[in-house]
Structure 1
């Protein structure tokens, strides 16, 4: 697990590269490596997980001269691939998973990515021909983000984090005007668009190739299928949990108290007892005081049933005003879900206790239609308008309230371009296939990588923790696709699998997202409210030009009179966006100084 960066068909100075590396060093504190040549560069900040003593990046092999690679992620089938490559004469200096990438590319070309099982973002330069070639690749679900900028002159710049990418002096850092509406309508920028003009993310399951003078060509691979026997969901999930629990560093699990993480915890705990002869450590985050929606009891019940060493981490809400700006910085672009702050604090505790790998239950709701919005859409009668309520449920701020917060100029801009809500609605209504297929495709290909996985990736790596997600392994995803629709709706297959494995109270409980009760915390007299009032001042809003100071003042007044989840979430979303905008302005202003200091540090 690492952070990677580089450039192709472009000039990048040593100072540029040092600045890029410096901005994402938190995710790879164990080692730093870089190679550059005429018109190309590759670099890596390493978090040593597999074969910590080996695995120096960039990877180069004596058997494949002229192929250089860097890699962020974890390959769970690297032992099988290594055996296959050794039979073809390749020699490896260590047992690190990424070391085999140059050999795999030499044997299979750009199709190598289709053989990888795990989570990954790979960048590789092939120097064996007179003209070099760049190859980029991401895993099927987009668990490892790779931002890139394709310049008009054909140059390509890329990095694991957005703040690092804009440290390249050739990469602009200008907000897209429509991104604010996208963010408030869907809680982040969905799909491959980032919040900045000219910066995109590589799609899930993508391989991209660049040659000098031809720019970057991106194509999507077919999802990996799994031909191994075993149609039993619990058996397949258990096999993948065991594979992901193997590591050369300490492994723990995140236990929210819900079904998804509970199943992962139970299976991982069984593996730890049988294979390592020791209990699994589990982590659950809660808040000091009494708050609505407390899941502590359910998490403790799962831990007791599974026999884990349980860590209940208590965060003081008085710390939120200090934690939130740091959280926003690590996210790279705005995410309106208050869970981001909880996620950041949780992985801070995981790292503080000495763990480098954490198993999580992420991805199950998307694969098995577990969200309330998905169930409601699927339950709507034939011929009913299921799309409008579904799209409305994605929003951080309801449409009518959004419109009241925009300036007249911005409303006119959106009317001319078409508001985000309208574009998503039209996209879903025109999609081919069944309602279930349409919803699952939107949730897994657009919302999951942009909204959910990017948050997990960035906030776990903020503390140099590798988050592993068994539900997003190809075997589990493939099994979910093969199940009858009734079993992958409302997570029925998971509920069936959990009976007898988890406490009955956990199996029976209604779905409850792991959340921060922001409506009870964002109130008069708290540091969090003081931060919101400071950041959403009329002066800051004038700098943006898209938000109306009078509308924001009215929102504050309404919330002070009667705090509610709607007004609190709206204020939170606006606060996060303004913190991000301020950080972006600071990054642009300090770029030359940051490059100089990072160069000295490197």
Structure 2
């Protein structure tokens, strides 16, 4: 896990790699070249994980001196690839996966991407062919940002490396700002919240011929897409067996490391599964090693998951580390967290995740496994129920519908009336609705985003629709398409962004075994009944983990993740700071939001007239972001 920088045409500036020294405290490198399109520069900051010797320093050149590499990530199957390449005559002088990547590119060219099992963003300069090549892993686990204009082309691991380049205005991208404020979603298109800065999309690459003068344009190529599938026809037992096999192998591969390794443990189904499988694999190795876990806990029972964490720790004999995020630290650290995140973030749960990685660093853990990706692939979000229930109604399976509603009432405390209102009534012709549900007085609606600035952009569109179209994905019509869009476009890319920045801020490599592409392809191809069945989400994971997870954890139906007690905090110790933060955003960006509507919305939430949701933090954090990066309105 590292930081990289590459440029073509722009004046080389070494400080653009040094600004991300936190991503790689174990070494740095810089090299410049000449081309027909202008100067070429490669920069690297190293976090040594595989082969921690100086043999892994970058930029790294092949034996001929033709190819030069800067690389961020891990190729987990590097051992198998190295043996295959040795059989073809390649000679290796290190045990690093970086050298294997370089040899794989020399042997197979761009086709090497299809052979990699891992997370990666890398740049290769081909001195002989005068070609700059950059690529990003299948799901965008590792970041790769890009600026391309008439002045040149530049890549970076973080947006801050690219700010200030010629041709950038330093202003916000209003269309994506509106998406963020209205829905909390970012990273759902190639655009960022900074005008003129893009990201190389997951599963895409960029190749530029530099022998000729720079044209100012690039054309990214998609090298990976989820294989089409009509759905796997498997029994529950068969699906669980195959899932367990793939998941166990994914965790095994993600344990390859030459430095201490541990895991985040929230007490939920996903992270607990990782810890339990890690423990089994370490036991098989017979070295007596225990899993180091790090967890965030709270005094507020509504979000505290410590009893479930302790169940996992007790069963596995893990070495636990518990931290207790405090509300007074939220604003004390908010500006620094925002700087590391590069863009405003959606809730204080990012602060909780920050604290987990901070504690991991104190504990001397350099690699952390985490459970990102399972919810998106396996319909772990309750919003998936609208598609499940609509399908039951369409097929006339009313007994199953009633059973599902009963189990959701028992497991989640969602009343029948609320379920009918939320999931069933929208599917029924309007004239029939009054016979099923009495109309209740709705909360006052505050049109806080209805400003002249946003009106000038035209009618607002569903962020999910924008995400689907931007990535060439189908509209969401059922659980399968719901999981596909969340995995490849709308939710997961944003969560991976947050995880990458929070972990790298503390010089820790975060690994996500649920995103082994073999497992992802299997999960997305599974029939809907393996994802949601009655009151169960992530059904196949629950079935596969029988006998591996503690039963109270395996049978959990609530979902929290890195939740924080925002409602208690915002109405209590943080109330004044939230009010001040809302006013600061309105003052910094006058006209961006409807001021009266924004103040009324904040007052309703803070005074208890409606539940606190993530909207308040988005408004506050937008102003913090603008201050830290000096972002202009336009």
Q: How would you bin the TM-score normalised by the shorter chain?
A: 0.7 to 0.9
Contact 1:188/1:450, CA 8 A, preserved across alignment: no
SS in 1 for 2:113: helix
Partner of 2:99: 99
Partner of 2:419: none
Aligned partner of 2:486 among 408, 421, 443: 443
Moved more, 97-106 or 164-173: 164-173
Partner of 1:217: 219
Partner of 2:341: 331
Aligned partner of 2:607 among 536, 545, 561: 561
Q: What are the superposed Cα offsets for residues 487-534 of structure 1, whole Å, 9 maximum, x if unpaired?
A: 13321110101222111111122131211111110125x2x3333333
Partner of 1:591: none
Contact 1:338/1:516, CA 8 A, preserved across alignment: yes
Contact 1:407/1:545, CA 8 A, preserved across alignment: no
Mind listing any 5+ residue stretches in structure 1 that lack a counterpart? 391-398, 589-602
Residue 32 of structure 1 pairs with residue 35 of structure 2: no
Q: What are the superposed Cα offsets for residues 419-442 of structure 1, whole Å, 9 maximum, x if unpaired?
A: 445954995999369623421221
- The 1:424/1:309 distance shift into structure 2, 3 A limit, reads same
Partner of 1:493: 540
SS in 2 for 1:148: strand
SS in 1 for 2:252: helix
Moved more, 547-556 or 459-468: 547-556
Contact 2:484/2:524, CA 8 A, preserved across alignment: no
Q: What are the superposed Cα offsets for residues 99-120 of structure 1, whole Å, 9 maximum, x if unpaired?
A: 2233221211122222111000
After TM superposition, the structure 1 = structure 2 runs for residues 161-200 of structure 1, keeping only pairs within 5 Å, are: 161-189=158-186, 190-200=188-198
Moved more, 65-74 or 540-549: 540-549
After TM superposition, the structure 1 = structure 2 runs for residues 360-439 of structure 1, keeping only pairs within 5 Å, are: 360-381=370-391, 404-406=447-449, 408-414=451-457, 416-421=458-463, 423-424=465-466, 431=474, 435-439=478-482
Partner of 1:52: 52
Aligned partner of 1:510 among 530, 552, 557: 557
Q: What are the superposed Cα offsets for residues 401-425 of structure 1, whole Å, 9 maximum, x if unpaired?
A: 89622353134224x2544459549
1:245 shift after superposition: 1.2
- The 1:539/1:367 distance shift into structure 2, 3 A limit, reads closer
Contact 2:339/2:625, CA 8 A, preserved across alignment: yes
Mind listing any 5+ residue stretches in structure 2 that lack a counterpart? 228-237, 396-421, 428-441
Residue 286 of structure 1 pairs with residue 329 of structure 2: no
After TM superposition, the structure 1 = structure 2 runs for residues 94-173 of structure 1, keeping only pairs within 5 Å, are: 94-129=94-129, 132-153=130-151, 155-173=152-170
Contact 1:377/1:387, CA 8 A, preserved across alignment: no
Aligned partner of 1:576 among 618, 621, 630: 621
SS in 1 for 2:589: helix
Partner of 1:536: 582
Contact 2:134/2:205, CA 8 A, preserved across alignment: yes
- The 1:565/1:165 distance shift into structure 2, 3 A limit, reads farther
Q: Distance in 1 between matches of 2:488 and 2:463?
A: 18
Moved more, 463-472 or 100-109: 100-109
- The 1:206/1:544 distance shift into structure 2, 3 A limit, reads farther
Moved more, 102-111 or 47-56: 102-111
SS in 1 for 2:324: strand
Q: Distance in 2 between matches of 1:425 and 1:274?
A: 43
1:563 shift after superposition: 6.4
Residue 546 of structure 1 pairs with residue 556 of structure 2: no
SS in 2 for 1:145: coil
1:80 shift after superposition: 1.3
Residue 523 of structure 1 pairs with residue 571 of structure 2: yes
Q: Distance in 2 between matches of 1:171 and 1:510?
A: 47
Q: What are the superposed Cα offsets for residues 313-334 of structure 1, whole Å, 9 maximum, x if unpaired?
A: 1222221121222222111112
- The 1:403/1:87 distance shift into structure 2, 3 A limit, reads farther
Aligned partner of 2:255 among 245, 249, 253: 245
Contact 1:147/1:199, CA 8 A, preserved across alignment: yes
Q: What are the superposed Cα offsets for residues 324-350 of structure 1, whole Å, 9 maximum, x if unpaired?
A: 222221111122132111111110000
Tell me the TM-score normalized by structure 2: 0.83
Partner of 1:594: none
SS in 2 for 1:246: coil
Contact 1:68/1:126, CA 8 A, preserved across alignment: yes
Residue 467 of structure 1 pairs with residue 513 of structure 2: no
Q: Distance in 1 between matches of 2:133 and 2:425?
A: 40
Moved more, 353-362 or 102-111: 102-111
Q: Distance in 1 between matches of 2:164 and 2:426?
A: 40
Contact 1:541/1:549, CA 8 A, preserved across alignment: no
1:383 shift after superposition: 6.7
Q: Distance in 2 between matches of 1:25 and 1:324?
A: 20
Q: Distance in 2 between matches of 1:536 and 1:180?
A: 16
Partner of 2:353: 343
1:253 shift after superposition: 1.1
SS in 2 for 1:522: helix
Tell me the TM-score normalized by structure 1: 0.87
Residue 11 of structure 1 pairs with residue 13 of structure 2: no
1:307 shift after superposition: 1.5
Q: What are the superposed Cα offsets for residues 167-214 of structure 1, whole Å, 9 maximum, x if unpaired?
A: 545544220122221102331322221101121111111121112335
Q: What are the superposed Cα offsets for residues 83-106 of structure 1, whole Å, 9 maximum, x if unpaired?
A: 122222222221111122332212
Contact 1:35/1:43, CA 8 A, preserved across alignment: yes
Residue 79 of structure 1 pairs with residue 79 of structure 2: yes
Q: Distance in 2 between matches of 1:493 and 1:426?
A: 26
Contact 2:373/2:492, CA 8 A, preserved across alignment: no
1:219 shift after superposition: 1.4
After TM superposition, the structure 1 = structure 2 runs for residues 580-595 of structure 1, keeping only pairs within 5 Å, are: 580-585=625-630
Q: What are the superposed Cα offsets for residues 553-591 of structure 1, whole Å, 9 maximum, x if unpaired?
A: 22333233216534x522111111111111120899xxx
- The 1:61/1:579 distance shift into structure 2, 3 A limit, reads same
Partner of 1:593: none
